[in-house]
Structure 1
Amino acid sequence: MRLKREESLLLIVDLQAGLLPVVDGGEQAVTEAAWLGGVAEALAIPVWVTEQYPQGLGGSEPRLLASLPSHKLWQKLHFDAHAEPDFAGALADTGRRQIILCGSEAHICVMQTGLGLLAAGYEVFWLSEAAVSRRAEEAQLARERMVHSGAISVSADMVAYEWLHRCDDDCFKDVHRRFLKPRSARPLRFF
């Protein structure tokens, strides 16, 4: 199953300021989600952000929102965002069937959203380095359960290069110049 930009949507679940200080890997999750969100926006791929109980957990991390000027924000009461009728209807209306999923907490809201999306027939791609929980073990268990349920585990680099598909056009050159450089939180990778 290959990612296609015209079928994709990036869904960032509950990377909220009040929760991130106690989340293992929270800073990396924000960095990776913001980076991939920038790539998505440059390629006209929708980026959706959810917030769970922002009155208590605070709004989305400001650095994340600042990097995503075109995002759509959803506030939710269900742990599974797809259980929110307005969300589910709007997602169906996009016609996009490939959902790249990340956020916090991986074993609660991200996983339940992923399971809801799978049950509704969407292809779910679990963005491993940006799906985090207070305890790393819980994030790992959530990833394993999602993969066992039919999701595909991916990295931000994998997603970006599949969206770009080729290196000999102006789109690649523009995105590569703006985004496809090593992020400061990660070592340089050679392939």
Structure 2
Amino acid sequence: MLDTDNTALVIIDVQGKLAQIMYQRDELFSQLQVMVKGAQLMKLPIIWVEQIPDKLGTTIPELQNLLTDQSPIAKNTFSACGNHKFQAALEASQCSNIMVVGIEAHICVYQTAMDLHLAGHHVEVVTDAVSSRHPANKQLALDKMALAGIKMTSTEMALFELQRVAEGDQFKQLLSIIK
């Protein structure tokens, strides 16, 4: 199970014009914002990557505006695990549970999740916070990852699993983020 002491959020490549043409873009952007706010509320490490930002553009403002206290890690590999700065950030987080969000589900999300899983991490893909341009590619990626043993979750499921109890100030703040 996910826990706040050992879980990190990894945000994959939610950038530029590519992000604008994702399947169910508005729902994706909304769930991504909820995940980031929830992770921040619970003080989870957030590792944020961008695929060749000089060509694909920077992360969408809806996320950049929430992540003002950190900078993205630029990468040119489809899997973030192929980037030494990402590996260093992951190691520094000391987390073995990794929640993965972003785009595209069948390319960078898939390859990153698979590499994390093969490296021994407990990986959960947040299904309503990942997408691809075509819904069939998203579904294929989710199916293939699940068959490989990667767990699937949703924004609310993950955040309430991390929250554990329905009381206190953090719970009230979480409810206001989700609504």
Q: Same fold (TM over 0.5)?
A: yes
In structure 2, list runs of 5 or more residues that go unmatched: none
CA RMSD of aligned residues (A): 1.4
Match of 2:58 in 1: 59
Residues paired across the two proteins, number: 179
Structure 1 residue 71, shift from structure 2 partner: 4.5
Identity of aligned residues (%): 28
Match of 1:84 in 2: 83
Q: What SS does the aligned partner of 1:20 have?
A: helix
Match of 1:186 in 2: none
Task: Using structure 1 for the length normalisation, give the TM-score.
Answer: 0.88
Match of 2:117 in 1: 118
Q: What SS does the aligned partner of 2:128 have?
A: strand
User: Is 1:11–1:48's contact at 8 Å kept on the other side of the alignment?
Assistant: yes
> Distance between the aligned counterparts of 1:67 and 1:90, measured in 2?
19
Match of 2:2 in 1: 3
Task: Using structure 2 for the length normalisation, give the TM-score.
Answer: 0.94
| One-letter amino acid of the structure 1 residue matched with residue 162 of structure 2 | W
User: Is 1:78–1:84's contact at 8 Å kept on the other side of the alignment?
Assistant: yes
> Distance between the aligned counterparts of 1:167 and 1:21, measured in 2?
36
Q: Which runs of 4+ in 1 moved over 6 A?
A: none
Match of 1:164 in 2: 163
Structure 1 residue 67, shift from structure 2 partner: 2.4
User: Is 2:12–2:108's contact at 8 Å kept on the other side of the alignment?
Assistant: yes
Structure 1 residue 54, shift from structure 2 partner: 1.0
Q: Specify whether residues 70 and 42 from structure 1 end up closer, same or farther in structure 2 by C-alpha distance, changes over 3 A only.
A: farther
Q: Which moved more, 1:16-25 or 1:136-145?
A: 16-25
> Distance between the aligned counterparts of 1:6 and 1:71, measured in 2?
20
Match runs of 1:1-191 below 5 Å: 2-176=1-175, 178-181=176-179
| One-letter amino acid of the structure 2 residue matched with residue 3 of structure 1 | L
Structure 1 residue 36, shift from structure 2 partner: 1.2
In structure 1, list runs of 5 or more residues that go unmatched: 182-191
